[in-house]
Each structure stands twice: as structure tokens, then as C-alpha cells.
A and B are shown apart, each in its own frame.
Chain A
Amino acid sequence: MNKEKLANSLIFSQLRTMWLVLKHTFTKADTVQYPEQKPYLAPRYRGRIVLTRDPSGEERCVACNLCAVACPVDCIALQQVVDDDGRKRADFFRINFSRCILCGFCEEACPTYAIQLTPDVELAEYDRQNLVYEKEHLLINGPGKYPDYSFYQQSGIVIAGKGKGEAEQERPPIDIKGLMP
């Protein structure tokens, strides 16, 4: 393309751009009047983090620390305890939302679907300390996005009321000292 042609196409493209922008005078605004009118947030939107329970109402979190490891800003802190019934749970579970960037890595790292992000973005506080959420603030009374999943019913770990081989998709343990095939 020679130089005159280039100049012509340049001027033409400027005029075309201006015309296209001018046409937007009559298009509807994509934004909404926020506090009165809420925007639609998809169910998988990455907002405030919650800890879910399994269908039986017990905590899903086994405090494996994978979320804390995955967290790029190190805003998750927790400690594991093992209860008498064999269940593992978090002694404390703390998320500092003033550091959290809502990236969702913790949700992807979680082996038990315990930690989940919700479509709630209204996290503003006047006091920064109020953004540090403890376990009781994080825990909700439901299974979240995976209503049927229960980690302890899938895994082979022994807890009170479920012995070896009683999990779903699990066969009873083989008696290796017996003679029957």
C-alpha cells in the first residue's frame, strides 16, 4: 500500500470510528444503577468465600491445607484436629478478605468441595478488621454447588457409623488370611 492510500484509509477509518461511536447515542446502557438495581451475577461468579456442609449436615472441610497452599496471597489460615469419631475438621479457619483476590484457586484445590465461592460481592467494611472472617462466619448450612456430594461417603476412611468398605463404590475389604477366592 503506498503512502497516499494509507493516508486516505487513515482519515476514512477515523471518520468511520466517530460514526460508530455516535451511533451508540441510542443504545441502552450496559451498566445498571447499582445500589437500587443489582446486576445479574452467575451462580459460578467468584465472590465471597463460604465453607459448606455435606448432605448430612456435617462439615465438609477436612483441614487438609491445600487451599492455604494454593492461595497466591496467603490469606487463608487453618489448623487440623481429628475428632474422636475419626472425622477431621478445622480447629480454626480464617480468611482475611482484605487480602483475598477472589481468584478461586482454593475452590479448585479443595478435594472435598468444602470451600466454595459465591456470587456475593458486597464485602465493603469501614473497619478493616471486620474483613477477617472466622470459621463461624464462613460456615453455611448447606451443601452449596454440589448438593449430593459427601466426602466421607466416597472415601475409605473410617468414621463413627461407617466402617471399612462401607463407602459408596467401595467393596468390602478382602480377608487376606482366608482361603476363599
Chain B
Amino acid sequence: MMPEMLWKLLEITIIIALLIPMAAMLVWVERRVIGIWQDRHGPNRVGPFGILQSLADLLKILGKEDWIPPFSDRLVFILAPIIGAICVLMSFAVVPFSPDIGVSDLNIGLLFFLAMASLAVYSVVLAGWASNSKYALLGGMRAAAQTVSYEVFMGLSVMGVVLLTGTFNLREIVLAQSEGWLIQSQFVGFFIFLVAGIAESHRLPFDLPEAETELTAGFHTEYSGLKFALFFLGEYLGVTLISAMSVVLFFGGWLMPEPLSAWLPPLVWFIIKIMCFVMFFILLRTSLPRPRFDQLLKFGWMVMLPLALLNLIVTALLRLTGVL
């Protein structure tokens, strides 16, 4: 009983201990890759190829004053970044990394992921409210409206996957794709999931809650030091999470077609697929401009919602007639 539990705790610790430095590395990767795409060099001074840049940034951010504004709501102000980081980290509990790595085989894994994604918005909304500043409040309100809207399509878009596999368990969803990845039949669902995922993780082009040009830094305007770092951690973990979920739901998780699967261990394939998605997210960030907020909501409710419903109905019909 006890050793088993200890093993589980060790597994959790290792996964967290790998995820957090990975998120830090992602900051560097993003800056380097954006640099390359913008015909610059990017940070390349600290360590070989600048690989230790994140470490230097972390040391700098630790040395900064951790300021809590006197006009803020102290408790909520401190709580907000913690909620954000914890919600994203909790979501990783249900991600199946490889045939035998994964914290929990929750039978409602997909629902758990959606639940954590919907709780993560509290982090942003509360940060915006507790900061007691206009920019932060506007950012928080934008985040609330945006997340509540896009959550709907995110939930609807993955229902096609649930229809085809017949389970909410993420590991079983991956195993059900051994015949062929779900992207073949669920392309529309994948597209909606990806767009909703970008909106949920407040990445460009949907980073309206923090839109620098309009709201200085949006919901984290008043944050500094370690709490600011926690927001950053949450954001980059969110990117990894959305990538991981896209891979699990639509691209067969750790599974690869026959000749390729023997070349590398499943975990490595999984990570390679995730990195492809992360690169795609970074590419989106470099190339696309930010829409106006009403355009964002209009696009959501008038394009994505009908599309998601149509995808669900067509999938159900095809499933009923036995085509899929």
C-alpha cells in the first residue's frame, strides 16, 4: 500500500520537476525562434546558444521586489497566480505521457481537463480584480468573457472524439487511435479545439486580456517578482498542456504508424509531437495580429459555435449510419 503510494508521489514529483524547467526552457525557445523568424538572433549570450537565458531571467526575477500594492485586495492578489499555476499543473495529472507514464487514469479525464481549464480563468479574473487598477480590471473582464465563450466550443469540439471512442478516459482515447489517428475524421473538431485552446491559454493572437498595446500588461500589470513568474509559468505550461491535449485527442498520443514507432520510445514520440504544436503556437504568435475584442467574440459565437455544433451532429449521424 505505502510503497505504491510513494512510487506514485515520486512519479508526480518527477513529472512536475520536469515540467517546470521545461516551461522555463520554452521561454528561451520561443524568444530564439521568434528571433529567427524576425531575422534577428534572439538571446544567445548566456551559456551555449543562450540556453541558460531562462535561468538568468529567473535569478533576476527572484531578486526583484515582490510588491503587493497597498490598494490591492491582499489575499486575492496573492491567491490569483497560485490558482493559475495549480490548475494547469493539475491538468497534467490526467495526461497519458506514454503506455506506462501518467499520474492518473481518471475515467473522466477529459472532463477533468475541461474543468481545470474553466477554473484557470479565476486566476486571471481575480488578478484583474484584486489589483484594483483599471488596466488590470479591463484585462480580467476580457479574460472572463473570452474564456467563458471559448470554453463552450472547446467542450463541444472534443465531444466528437468522445463519440467516436466512447470514453472520457484519455488513455483509452489514445489506445482507440491505434487503427488511425482521429484527425482523419475530426479535422473540423481539431481546428475548433486548437483555436479555443489558444483563446483559453491567452496566447497571441488571442491575448486580449494582456494586450500590451492597449492595456500595458492587462491582468498582471501590478504583478512583479515571483508572482509575475508564476503567471508566466502558468502561461507556458498552458501552451504545453494545449499541445499535449491536441496530440492526445487528435494525433494518437504516443502512438506512431508501424515503421516509425520502433525507432524511438513512445515518450519521445509524444514529446516530439508536442514540440511540433508548440512551434506552431510560436509561429502563430509571430505572424498574426491581434483581433479587436468584439471581433473575437463575434468570431467565436457566429463562426465557431455553429461549426462545432455542425461537426458534432455530422459526426453523430455518421456514427449512427456506421460510416465511422
- Classify A-B as touching or not with yes or no (CB < 8 A): yes
State which of A12-20, A93-101, A161-169 sits at the interface with chain B.
A12-20
Least CB distance from B176 to A in Å reads 31
Q: A14-B288, A18-B284, A18-B287 in contact; A24/B37 too (CB < 8 A)? A: yes
Mark out the residues of chain A between 17 and 35 whose CB falls within 8 Å of any chain B CB in the assembled complex.
Answer: 17-18, 20-22, 24-25, 27-31, 33
Whether B287 lies near A31 (C-beta < 8 A) is: no
**CB-CB contacts below 8 Å: B240-299 with A:** 283-284, 286-288
- Count A-B contacts at CB 8 Å: 36
A1 within 8 A of B: no
Are A7 and B303 touching (Cβ within 8 A)?
A: yes
- Contact between chains at B36 and A21 (CB < 8 Å): no
Partner of B283, one of A21, A28, A30, A33: A21
**Contact between chains at B38 and A24 (CB < 8 Å):** yes
Instruction: Kindly report which residue of chain A lies nearest to residue B39, judged by CB atoms.
Output: A30
Interface SS of A by simple majority: helix
A22 and B41 contacting across the interface, CB-CB below 8 Å: no
CA distance in complex: A169, B41 (Å): 56
**Separation in Å of the B299 CB from the closest CB of chain A?**
9
Q: Is B60 part of the binding interface, using a Cβ–Cβ cutoff of 8 Å?
A: no
CA distance A29 to B34 in the complex (A): 12
Enumerate chain B residues within 8 angstroms of A21, measured Cβ to Cβ.
Answer: 37, 283, 286-287
With a CB–CB cut-off of 8 A, which chain B residues contact A17? Answer: 287-288
CB neighbours of A30 from chain B (8 A): 39-40
A40 vs B35: C-alpha distance when bound (angstroms): 21
Cα A102 to Cα B40 with chains together (Å): 25
Do residues A25 and B288 form an inter-chain contact, with CB atoms below 8 A? no
A14 to B283, CA, bound (A): 11
Residues in A lying within 8 Å of B, measured CB to CB: 7, 14, 17-18, 20-22, 24-25, 27-31, 33
B residues contacting A by CB (< 8 A) are 35-41, 283-284, 286-288, 303
7 A/B residue pairs, CB under 8 Å, sorted by A: A14-B287, A17-B288, A18-B284, A21-B37, A21-B286, A24-B37, A24-B39
